[in-house]
Each structure stands twice: as structure tokens, then as C-alpha cells.
Amino acid sequence: MSTEPVFAHDLPGYELVHAGKVRELYAPGPEAALPEGWAAEDLLLMVASDRISAYDHILSTPIPDKGEVLTRMSLWWFDQLADLAPHHVVATETPCVPEAVAGRAVLVKKLRMLPVECVARAHLTGGGLGEYQQSGTVSGLRLPAGLVDGSELPDPLFTPSTKAPAGEHDEPISYEQVRTLIGHPLARAARNLTVEILRRGHEIAAERGIIVADTKVEFGLEGVDAERELRTVTEEEIASGAVRIVLADEVLTPDSSRFWPAEGFAPGRQQPSFDKQYVRDWLTSEASGWDKNSDTPPPALPDEVVAGTRAKYVEAFERLTGESFR
């Protein structure tokens, strides 16, 4: 497998509609194999590559099996969360998922996405810590004094951000701004679901030696036309199921969340990353010859760093799910 995106010519019958840093989205065309009862225009194929990012760069060296590990992990979580929210997955097997990407792609319902990144934090770190140190708040919400990098929060917090166009950074926004964007009923539902998903994920992972410090989820809607103003969606429509809030994208993976090893967890310093620590340690070591503050791209990873990192992804999957990866 390579770091190159899967091009449309690798997937006859599909058209590339979006390329992210690590994943691509395709629209099935008239020749694509579809599940019974589905029309191509209602579906998307979401493909996870083996690319990995570190320090805001996509590395030139892929991590074998990463796309498959994360795809399977996300599917496992969708099941664990099914009583909280319906999810977008329609098919996971060939021929509905083309052979060339089988295992690391899913066919999903094409949804009207909420224009918000729904982030929740169980521990204080990163951008949340920065705001707290400046003002004692996170996402405008006041927190107790004395918290440090890694501290567990009294309750998980909803700390939404904008969905920035490719290449730009998502900006934190307040809950009030979310309400202005999508209206009170959808904002409240998205906030509550996001916090419940993190609570559940944090609890399950903690029993298995992994701390999910924070996570980002994305929701899409069913029952809302493309042209309709989201602010007009009512509480009653959500309660009756006329409008359904569906969990989309990927969920509770190391790419959408911070995973920390529970062993050795100690607030007051930066926590090691469950999955990326080998990569970070090597990139910042003298051996790499790379300066993370320069604009030069990072060098290729040595084989042992690749193997160690692959093993951590597989370990995360196996610990969480109790299944063997292969």
C-alpha cells in the first residue's frame, strides 16, 4: 500500500469527491455495485488510507494496515454506541465496497452534515489547556482552579469548532455560536450526544488501559432537505424522529481522538500518545535530523519506527475490541 491517494482510476465506477489528509470520499456512479434498495446518489464510499500525520505534516511513509485498523475500530464503536445514536454505515463488504479498498472502506449514507465539528473533552490538554491558562475557562465555560495538563475534568465538556476548508485549521467556537449556526434544538441535541459518546467511549476504553482524553464526532441529518435552513428544525421534529441525527464520519479512533496509555498516566506534563509516540520521539530525536519548527517536510520513517507504530495501532484495536486483528 502506498501513501498516494486512491485515484478514481483505481476504483472504476466511482468518482473522487473529496480528499482529506488521510481519507478520501467517492461518489458511486451508475456502474458501482450497490446494496439492494439503494440509489447511487444517496451513498458515498469513505476510504481510509495508511497515511499518518505528525506535527501537522502528512508523513511520506505509510503505516501498513492503519486504514484497516481505524476502519474496523470505528465500526466496532458504532455498534457500542448504537443505543445513543444511529450511524451512517450501509455496507462494509465486497462487492458494495470495491475489492481494491476492501477492509479500509465503508459505504455510507450521504447525509446533510452539520457544519460544526463536535468536540468533547474528558481531560484538559492542547487548545483547551491554552484557553484555561489564559482565562480559567474552556469554550467559555469556567473551570475549577488548579487544573494542569492532562487533568481529568469534573464532567466532559462540549468544545465545538468550525469545520475549516481543507488546509485551514478548525477554530474553536462557543456553544452560543453553534446555536446561531444550526438553531437551539439541533445544537442541544448535538452537544448532548457528543458528551454522551465521549462519556461512553472514555468509560469503555479506561477499562482496557486506554484513556480517551478528547474526541471529535460529526453528525449528519436525515429528513432535512438540502436547501432547508437548519435553524428551522424544531424540538418536535427531533423528538418524533421526523428529523434523525445520525453519527457519521469516523468515531473514537486515534485519528479523531487523543488516546493515552492509562499506564503511567500523570497529570502535570504532556502525556505520551498511545499510537504516535514512536513517530514523535523519532522525529524529534537527533537521528531524524529534522527540525519540527522548520518548513521542511519530515524525513521518511525507519522500518523499526513503522513496525512499532503499526503494532500500537493493532494493540489499540485488540485491547478495545477484544478481537484479534489477524
Whole-angstrom distance, CA of residue 312 vs CA of residue 277: 9
Segment interacting with ligand ATP (CB under 6 A) among 20-28, 139-147, 233-241, 270-278: 20-28
Tell me the residue type at 310.
R
Shortest Å distance, C-beta 209 to ligand ATP: 27
Is residue 166 at the binding interface for ligand ATP, with CB under 6 A as the rule?
Answer: yes
Whole-angstrom distance, CA of residue 60 vs CA of residue 237: 47
Cβ contacts of 191 within 8 Å, gap of 6 or more: 118, 158, 160, 175, 178
Handedness of CA 141, 146, 150, 153 (dihedral sign): negative
Site for ligand ATP in 208-267 (CB under 6 A): 218, 220, 248-249
Shortest Å distance, C-beta 306 to ligand ATP: 21
Q: Quote the cell numbers at residue 293.
A: 519548527
Residues paired with 57 in a beta bridge = 54
Nearer to ligand ATP, 25 or 141 (CB): 25
Among 6, 16, 32, 44, binds ligand ATP (CB under 6 A): 44
Shortest Å distance, C-beta 292 to ligand ATP: 19
Nearer to ligand ATP, 111 or 320 (CB): 111
Is residue 18 at the binding interface for ligand ATP, with CB under 6 A as the rule?
Answer: yes
Binding footprint of ligand ATP, residue count (CB under 6 A): 18
Give the residue at shortest CB distance from ligand ATP: 20
Shortest Å distance, C-beta 21 to ligand ATP: 3
Nearer to ligand ATP, 89 or 138 (CB): 89
Bond into 144 cis (ω within 30): no
Nearer to ligand ATP, 108 or 147 (CB): 108
Whole-angstrom distance, CA of residue 115 vs CA of residue 219: 9
Nearer to ligand ATP, 113 or 141 (CB): 113
Cβ contacts of 289 within 8 Å, gap of 6 or more: 299
The mark string for 83-122 relative to ligand ATP (x by CB under 6 A, - otherwise) is -----x-------------------xxxx-x---------
Whole-angstrom distance, CA of residue 208 vs CA of residue 61: 29
Whole-angstrom distance, CA of residue 249 vs CA of residue 239: 23
Among 5, 13, 20, 308, binds ligand ATP (CB under 6 A): 20
Count the helices and strands in the chain (H runs, E runs). Answer: 7, 16
Is residue 50 at the binding interface for ligand ATP, with CB under 6 A as the rule?
Answer: no
Nearer to ligand ATP, 129 or 221 (CB): 221
Determine whether 132 is exposed, middle or buried from the number of CB atoms within 10 Å of its CB (0-12, 13-18, 19+).
Answer: buried
Instruction: Give the H/E segment covering residue 62.
Output: none
Cβ contacts of 171 within 8 Å, gap of 6 or more: 161, 162, 164
Site for ligand ATP in 67-86 (CB under 6 A): none
By the criterion CB under 6 A, which residues form the site for ligand ATP?
Answer: 18, 20-23, 25, 44, 88, 108-111, 113, 166, 218, 220, 248-249
